[in-house]
Amino acid sequence: MTQTFDQVIYSNLLAQVAPQVIETEEEYDRALELAEHFTFAKNLTPEETALYKLLVTLIEVYEAENYPMDEVTPHEVLRHIIEASGISQADLANLIGSDDEVSDILSGKKPINETQAKALGERFKVSPSLFIEEGA
């Protein structure tokens, strides 16, 4: 059963959080803290999901302006995410393949396929495109 989006509930959430364009490190830290809360929360409502997406967009804009990154490969992105989240390589193997396959992916010897990218995107609540090599 799909929950319907409630504009009043969303308006109340917006009033509590007061999201805005991020211009300072303090605002950035606050937005990261809020986004992290939603990242690890279970069973987000449609309104919370909308707010989470808004926060992520604001964070991405601030980071693009203040922390420009060199091009990173999908396996580097995955290594960073698993280090930050603290999951093990065995946990990753349960999600996307064998231990050997995960080792090959993390070392850059093997690309992440579309099915694996979708599974990783769902698990880490990010776009699967982060895990797909450009031009692939």
How many whole angstroms separate alpha carbon 90 and alpha carbon 58? Answer: 33
DSSP state, residue 51: H
Which pLDDT band holds residue 136 (cuts at 50, 70, 90)?
A: low
Q: Which helix (H) or strand (E) holds 8?
A: helix 7-17
Phi/psi of residue 99, nearest 5 degrees: -60, -40
Residue 25 pLDDT more than 90?
A: yes
| Residue-wise pLDDT tens digits, 68-97 | 767 788 998 898 888 888 888 888 999 898
| Residue-wise pLDDT tens digits, 53-73 | 999 999 999 988 888 767 788
Q: Percentage of the chain surpassing pLDDT 90?
A: 60
pTM: 0.55
Q: Do residues 78 and 106 lie in contact, with contact meaning Cβ atoms separated by under 8 Å?
A: yes
